[in-house]
Each structure stands twice: as structure tokens, then as C-alpha cells.
Amino acid sequence: MLLKSVVIKKKNLTTVNESCTLDEALKILEESGYRCVPILDESGKIFRGNIYKMHIYRHKANGGDMSLPVTYLLKNATKFIFVNTSFFKVFFTIKELPYIAVLDENNYFYGILTHSTLLNILAQSWNIEQGSYVLTVASTGKQGDLASITKIIAKHSSIASCITLDIGEDEFIRRTLLTLPSDTSEETCAVIVENLEKKNFKVIEIENLKNNTK
């Protein structure tokens, strides 16, 4: 995953300096419309954490001192990734955060990767624009299952994308979503499904992307 191509760079962001007061930070947040922004050190290079509008509001409502430095309510100081971080670490680090800070090779603040951007990347992996049918195939997760599934499909069609969604404790514990190319006919799809089920791979859902895009 090339993070640099999807990260919003520092020069295009609203940030606050660590020397800002809570009152000053609140004004910046209200003017920007963001619910939180990164806090940087005096040099503008080091990520200190995030400041959230709701935390300042709560502090103010409780009669808190608004002249305190913004770092008083600093959050997510350890929530950051690097420009060369793997997709899987990114996915599990961002979780409920609106964005994750991204550092460069020198540990300097490079920018942010937003939650919505990550979701868009995942959506693109479905290859909806170039797909026809999405087959959800359930299997037991045994070694070689995925190879067998793709081999069956490859006899009739190429595969536009493949995603494994879950591993659980049900009778069928692994669900693999396979998108067929846009030129796949309904007849070809039916043949693929028939051949998969002959080999004991249960096709639990067939989604017609052509109908969804109308």
C-alpha cells in the first residue's frame, strides 16, 4: 500500500502548535469545522498528539482553565504510523479514530490518513466498476481451499478481485468474496456456481453488480 499517494500532507492541514492555549485551540477548531486536529511541536515537525473539540467543550463546561496549554487535553500521542507501514497495521491502528497521523522516515510529521480514505481503498478492492457478480463462497478454511476455489473459477472466467472477510467458529468458518469481470454473463456465473457447489463449496450469496449500478 503506497501511503504517500493517499495521505493528506501537512501543508494542506489545519494544525495547532503545542504552545497554544485551550482557548486558542478551540477557536482554531471552530473556525476549521474539524472535530479534532493534530498538535505539533514548536518546530512544526514533531507530532505530539490530537486535540478534540469535545474535550475542550467538556473542560470549559466544567469550569476548567482555558489558559492551560493545549497539551493538557492531548490525546492519541502514540497513535501514528509511518509512510512505509503495512496495510494491515494501518487498518488495525486507525480503528475508531477519525484519522491516523503519518510520520516520515525521519519520524517527522508527514500528514494524516483519514478513516474515510481507508474505507474508500477497501471499497475499491471490491472492483465494483469493473465487476459483474460477487460470489460469497463459504468454506472450512482448510489448506488449499482458496486454490481450489480459484482453480474452478479460472476454468470459466478470470477473477477481478478476491477478499476473505472472516474466520469464525461456524460450520463454514471462512467467507471469500470473489468478483467476476464485467463481461461475465449470467450463464457463465451459473456454471461457476454449479461447479463450486459440486466440489462442496457453498455459494451463500450472489450479488449482481450490474443491477446495483443502474
Domain closes at, from 62, 87, 121: 121
C-alpha to C-alpha distances, 79 to 82, 92, 162, 176, nearest whole angstrom: 11, 11, 30, 31
Q: Are 114 and 148 members of one domain?
A: no
Q: Are 92 and 21 members of one domain?
A: yes
% of the chain with per-residue pLDDT over 90: 65
Q: Are 131 and 107 members of one domain?
A: no
* Nearest in space to 109 (alpha carbons), one of 15, 2, 36: 15
Number of domains comprising the chain = 2
Q: Taking phi first (over 0 means left), then psi (-120 to 50 degrees means alpha), and beta for anything else, what does residue 49 get?
A: left
Q: Are 14 and 105 members of one domain?
A: yes
The C-alpha atoms of residue 44 and residue 161 are separated, in whole angstroms, by: 41
Kind plus residue range of the DSSP H or E element containing 80? strand 80-82
pLDDT at 212: 57
Q: Are 116 and 148 members of one domain?
A: no
- In this predicted model, what pLDDT tens digit does every residue of 64-84 receive, in sequence order? 999 999 999 999 999 999 998
Q: What is the CATH number of the domain that holds 154?
A: 3.30.70.260
Q: Are 72 and 173 members of one domain?
A: no
Least confident segment among 84-88, 170-174, 182-186: 170-174
Q: Give the strand pairing for 36-40 and 109-114.
A: unpaired
Domain closes at, from 121, 143, 164: 121
Q: Are 141 and 102 members of one domain?
A: no
Instruction: Provide the domain limits for residue 202.
Output: 127-212
Q: Are 9 and 115 members of one domain?
A: yes
pTM, two decimals, is 0.69
Banded pLDDT at 214 (limits 50, 70, 90): very low
